[in-house]
Structure 1
Amino acid sequence: MSVSASSCAFDLDPFTSAIPKRVFVGNFDFDTSESELLVAFQVCGHIADVNIVRKSISDFYGFVTFASEQAAEDALRGKYDFFIRGRKLRIRRAFLKSPKSIFSDQAGSMQIPQLGWVPPVAPYACSLNGILASIGNLAIAAPYGK
């Protein structure tokens, strides 16, 4: 089962929240450019997008989105070895970031303005209808004694 493209940016597996055509890339040099990642991964097939996230000099990683799931699977299965600037790249399956990390407090509970605490929604509930359905399943109780 997957969410339709009209309600989400990606077709997601609701049980793993994996993004089928996207791979996570690590262990490259901080100065590596998106064009270098593009050239390295073109051997697998057509690439739709390359993105490098640089949070700090020691916290950076990238994502490569392929045009086909087969190309992404080829990269993940180790069919090719990827090296940039003498470093072997680490390739992993890309996953959707957990919804609780978007609006979470220190304890990991979600805080949504005017709704209060809400348990984390399933990763496939990325459409407004899915989120509202998840919220609608909550039992809202009045404070004790009132």
Structure 2
Amino acid sequence: MTSFKGKYILIKSENFEEYLKARGAGFMAIKMATALTPYLEINNEVDIWTLKVYTFIKTVIDMKFKLDEEFYHTRMDGTKCKVVIHIDGNKLIEEETPCNKPEDKQKNIREWTDDNHVVLILTCKDVVAKRYFERIE
């Protein structure tokens, strides 16, 4: 089984700006998000998982969850979402539904291509972006 635990750094992005536009992000938010290099950190203790995405400026995502159990998460833009995360082989799959706009449901797939690399596949509406991370710890 793939070891999801670890700390990773972004090394490349594809179509990320278009994805942010599809999510309704404003000009300044897009410029900031595309200029920063985020870290991805994943841990689990027994059945409690943590998933963090952060930069040297601030933590962007900080979620604690149990696999396959719905929970609520508030995005940086203030949007409250229902989230469910599960494992499918070498993938950690996150399904996120905004409470105020369920039609804007999105799916985030973190796929381990080997022990040291993760591809984050972001889907919102019909826009798909990819972000590539490399293990640093």
Determine if the TM-score, normalized by the shorter chain, exceeds 0.5: no
More strand by share: 2
Q: Which structure: larger Rg? A: 1
TM-score normalised to structure 1 length: 0.23
More helix by share: 1
TM-score normalised to structure 2 length: 0.24
